[in-house]
Structure 1
Amino acid sequence: MNKYTDVMKNLFLPVFLLAGSLFASCTTAVFKPAPSANPWDDNYLSVAKMEDYRQWGTYNVHDPSCRKLGDYYYMYSTDAIFGENRREAQEKGVPLGYIQMRRSKDLVHWEFLGWAFPEIPGEAVEWVQTHAGGQGATNIWAPYIIPYKDKYRLYYCVSAFGRKTSYIGLAESASPEGPWTQVGCVVRTDDSTAMNAIDPSVIVDDATGKWWMHYGSFFGGLYCVELNPETGLTVNEGDLGHLTARRAHYWKDNLEAPEIIYHPGLKQYYLFTSYDPLMTTYNLRVSRSEAAEGPFTDYFGKAVKDTTNNFPILTAPYRFENHPGWAGTAHCGVFSDGEGNYYLAHQGRLSPQNQLMVLHLRQLFFTPEGWPVVSPERYAGTPSRRFTEADLAGEWEIIRVQEPRYERQLEAGQILWGEGELKEEEWNLSSRFHLLKDGTCNGEMVDVEGKFVLASGKWSFLTENHLLMLDLGTEKIENLIIFAGHDWENETETILFTGLDSRGRSVWGKRIE
């Protein structure tokens, strides 16, 4: 038993109470799924015109950063818009561009507030275009919000696609809604540097109070640099920091979008990162460290600054029954509600074309081994409740979330033009599996090679801790976290589970009729 298991054993009930309030209510009747309409449609073509922007509450969301500030959750994201038409926007007086802003009180219904800046900061434009032959600096990417004393800091990046010519800047405001005052440059890179100044995420060391910014991309990997808490800029001007994560064939095997959080109960820092092309097989990984600045290790104890692909894998393209499926499921923002419940937000691209970008916001839990896992379904405000073994008996859809197996030709870590749809072997598909009342189980299951096979065995439910255990003979999948949630594909409330197998791959399930 390792030290993380010991910690979780000591904190087991508190952690699960925090990570989803699983024991908020109690019932003795057998659970029956109740029909419940989805909060919104996944296809937003009807409100995709430039003048429809006030209806983009959960639409055109890309690279979200979210935090609860006062009475609202505020979300900031890259200005990526389906069917963007700047001429049409200008003609109709739509203030298009420069960091989208949203807010919500319940994490389900989102109000589109507009854009943070009236223009791309001139210093960023000058740096990028001067060092990229006049190219780039056409929009603002990957903002990150963090409060400091009586003001709010908004980090952002401006870049030229496929180049290391990039700029991370900082703006401040007395309100989460602005107006924003430009403070200056945090880090900037060009073709002479190893790293790429995009995708900032900031963490405050719980013990020392030091500020650290994680950033970077496939160019040279991810880096971490110390910030001055008083200024929000680097402690040492021109400092670009130290390496924290990288992949071997970086030009092809994309790595980007670091997101760093701290879990006070587990006393661990978690570094979420995104692999592969953002429009198709984008998938989410996570590593952890006892220090805000690293070093970080993965599920198997491997250092993520080496060039081995790392696990766990939390999300990847997936398709449940009765839905065309989701691609591009990465570049996340992770946050808590201040009461110990954690959430993860990311883009989801509606298949098959993968052009429409819809907000995916999922509950996030921690396994008994101290690893984060996410809900297989998007959060829709479903009340938490307690379940019994009898509730779990029945038919389930199960997805084994695994890494992409199709080898694509990529440029700068992204797909080539015309390859925006997923190949069939790139999908994580669901299978039907039965938990029988006598404690046995059987059905289809994806094996470790990604093939559908018939499987059977036994199952049990640890009622006190809400953990499902599967013993399939040749494989045991243990500590699957059971909780209540919304079935988006079938528009009903249901029972869900999430967890990891012994190979560090996510296992998702939902109870169906």
Structure 2
Amino acid sequence: MNEYTDIMKNLFLPVLLVAGSFFASCTSAVFTPTPSANPWDDNYLSVAKMEDYRQWGTYNVHDPSCRKLGDYYYMYSTDAIFGENRKEAREKGVPLGFIQMRRSKDLVHWEFLGWAFPEIPEEAVQWVQSHANGQGATNIWAPYIIPYKDKYRLYYCVSAFGRKTSYIGLAESTSPEGPWTQKGCIVKTDDSTAMNAIDPSVIADESTGKWWMHYGSFFGGLYCVELNPETGLVLNEGDWGHLVARRANYRKDNLEAPEIIYHPELKQYYLFTSYDPLMTTYNVRVSRSDAAEGPFTDYFGKAVKDTTNNFPILTAPYRFENHTGWAGTAHCAVFSDNEGNYFMAHQGRLSPQNQLMVLHIRQLFFTPEGWPVASPERYAGTASRQFSKEDLVGEWEIIRVQEPAYERQLEAGQILWGEGELKEKEWNLSTRMTLAKDGTCKGQMTDNEWNIVQMNGKWSFLTEKHLLMVDLNSEKIENLVIFAGHDWENETETILFTGLDSRGRSVWGKRIK
């Protein structure tokens, strides 16, 4: 990691200053958490009917793709709806279609625009149903938006659940809001192929100008195929691409949802992926490469196309105090505000039933070693500010984000019916830690075996870089990024931190007193 440390000596501040003009203001008074109402309720049962669709700004979000296009952030997502009733929608004249569209100017208040397509493209339906005994192709999954010259390209996939019978297609428009013209198929797969044509993510290589599409799922792993920049379609007809990432037991250990971005200051391509079942222990991992098409390596330098599980782990099911908690926190979109600030969007399923799908947007930071880390709390437009060591003195809730320890029985990479609630050692629960004025700290923390242990230690704060260092029971956790944020569980503005421990697991914190 030395090369990244050297890079960050010169690039640290512009990389760290995400989600606004960081440290834009400074006050002499010691900071204390202050009351601030949440922008919306997490439970949306009151607006879950088909005719309520215009109120689904942050609701019914699943598999999002997001990008700032002009004055707005545009978001496109799988047409997954809680309590969907197509008969009722038709009777009430609701324009229920496929690929949900939203837009926002501030990443907090979202306007539901409706659906991109009036129907599933016929070519996709024919391919899937003719290769899946007449089944599948009932909605559109995992769209991806990318601009090209004066057009906007919207990639999407149609599939049959639990099979490799899938189709990735492309539509274009001169406006992010459509109307969309179908341009054709990118990749299509069936039971005879090693890969599964779902979850597209597209990027142009900054050095070569080549376009690459990452795609795939637990069926054989993730693949990358070269596209023709001029058409947006595959460069070589019939090409499925090369293997990028996989897990050892793909029938049980789910891997899907690649999301590829480029960081211009770090000159690295980051591949975000999702592990495990989408309704429960869904979690986000990340790897990186010098090239858009890979190969990608993880926190420990291991190749992600090997069969070992990879780290860092950025998000996973979690529960702070005063809330029922969130499951399914993965299948992410990663994007910038075009000013060097990065964000992550993903679904969160409201526990304990894990059926309501709520949009989560988190600020994304990069550590001095060049690894992305996500905010422990959802973004709510909190103004950035500078903090002193004195501001950090107080009581904190902390979470160590870990992979689930409970072994489930899965089908097609997903949970079996009736197992939709989280079990013991699947929850990342918060504990308490106190930072004292004299530089000591004490409290409780979850260890590597999911045990709650008493800990004592010391802490320090690098004021200019806004990094917290803690030494707990001789375990050093360094370079925790300190920033201002919103505490959704307590409806306050407070101080947050995020970072990685030596095992490549996220460590989250928020000051509560």
Task: Tell me which interval the TM-score lies in, with the shorter structure as reference length.
Answer: over 0.9
Alpha-carbon distance in structure 2 between the residues aligned to 1:203 and 1:210: 8
Aligned residue in 1 for 2:275: 275
Aligned residue in 2 for 1:511: 511
Secondary structure, aligned partner of 1:99: strand
Deviation of the 1:23 alpha carbon: 2.0
Q: Give yes or no for the alignment of 1:177 onto 2:209.
A: no
Deviation of the 1:95 alpha carbon: 1.5
Counterpart AA for 1:335: F
Counterpart AA for 1:471: D
- Higher mean Cα deviation, 91-100 or 342-351? 91-100
Aligned residue in 1 for 2:224: 224
Aligned residue in 1 for 2:42: 42
Secondary structure, aligned partner of 1:208: coil
Alpha-carbon distance in structure 2 between the residues aligned to 1:209 and 1:432: 49
Aligned residue in 1 for 2:481: 481
Deviation of the 1:405 alpha carbon: 0.5
Kept in 2, the 8 Å contact 1:396–1:433? The answer is yes
Kept in 1, the 8 Å contact 2:367–2:499? The answer is yes
Q: Give yes or no for the alignment of 1:160 onto 2:154.
A: no
Alpha-carbon distance in structure 2 between the residues aligned to 1:145 and 1:133: 31
Aligned residue in 1 for 2:459: 459
Measured against aligned partners, the alpha-carbon deviations of 1:429-451 in whole angstroms (never above 9, x if no partner) come to 00010000110000001112111
Kept in 2, the 8 Å contact 1:8–1:368? The answer is yes
The alignment covers a number of residue pairs equal to: 513
Alpha-carbon distance in structure 1 between the residues aligned to 2:448 and 2:403: 11
Aligned residue in 2 for 1:359: 359
Alpha-carbon distance in structure 2 between the residues aligned to 1:244 and 1:4: 23
Kept in 2, the 8 Å contact 1:20–1:342? The answer is no
Kept in 1, the 8 Å contact 2:18–2:363? The answer is no
Counterpart AA for 1:30: V
- Higher mean Cα deviation, 443-452 or 338-347? 443-452
Kept in 1, the 8 Å contact 2:104–2:111? The answer is yes
Aligned pairs for 1:68-467 within 5 A: 68-467=68-467
Kept in 2, the 8 Å contact 1:74–1:102? The answer is yes
Counterpart AA for 1:205: D
Counterpart AA for 2:264: P
Alpha-carbon distance in structure 2 between the residues aligned to 1:84 and 1:166: 23
* Stretches of structure 2 lacking an aligned partner (at least 5 in a row): none
Measured against aligned partners, the alpha-carbon deviations of 1:47-77 in whole angstroms (never above 9, x if no partner) come to 0000000000000000000000011000000
Kept in 2, the 8 Å contact 1:280–1:317? The answer is yes
Alpha-carbon distance in structure 1 between the residues aligned to 2:22 and 2:457: 27
Deviation of the 1:286 alpha carbon: 0.2
* Stretches of structure 1 lacking an aligned partner (at least 5 in a row): none
Counterpart AA for 1:420: G
Deviation of the 1:474 alpha carbon: 2.4
Q: TM-score, normalised by structure 1?
A: 0.99
Alpha-carbon distance in structure 1 between the residues aligned to 2:488 and 2:431: 17
Counterpart AA for 2:109: H
The runs of at least 4 aligned residues of structure 1 exceeding 6 Å deviation read none
Deviation of the 1:21 alpha carbon: 3.3
Q: TM-score, normalised by structure 2?
A: 0.99
Deviation of the 1:148 alpha carbon: 0.3
Alpha-carbon distance in structure 1 between the residues aligned to 2:449 and 2:480: 21
Q: 1:18 to 1:361 in 2, by over 3 A?
A: closer
Secondary structure, aligned partner of 2:172: strand
Secondary structure, aligned partner of 1:469: strand
Alpha-carbon distance in structure 1 between the residues aligned to 2:444 and 2:382: 28
Counterpart AA for 1:483: F
Alpha-carbon distance in structure 1 between the residues aligned to 2:96 and 2:415: 26
Measured against aligned partners, the alpha-carbon deviations of 1:162-190 in whole angstroms (never above 9, x if no partner) come to 00000000000000000000000000000
CA RMSD of aligned residues (A): 0.7
Counterpart AA for 2:471: D
Alpha-carbon distance in structure 1 between the residues aligned to 2:226 and 2:193: 18
Aligned residue in 2 for 1:23: 23
Secondary structure, aligned partner of 1:116: strand
Alpha-carbon distance in structure 2 between the residues aligned to 1:278 and 1:16: 30
Deviation of the 1:20 alpha carbon: 5.0
Secondary structure, aligned partner of 2:34: coil
Secondary structure, aligned partner of 1:46: helix
Kept in 1, the 8 Å contact 2:365–2:372? The answer is yes
Aligned residue in 2 for 1:51: 51
Secondary structure, aligned partner of 1:129: helix
Alpha-carbon distance in structure 1 between the residues aligned to 2:148 and 2:382: 33
Aligned residue in 1 for 2:471: 471
Deviation of the 1:252 alpha carbon: 0.5
Kept in 1, the 8 Å contact 2:406–2:424? The answer is no
Alpha-carbon distance in structure 1 between the residues aligned to 2:197 and 2:86: 26
Deviation of the 1:18 alpha carbon: 4.4
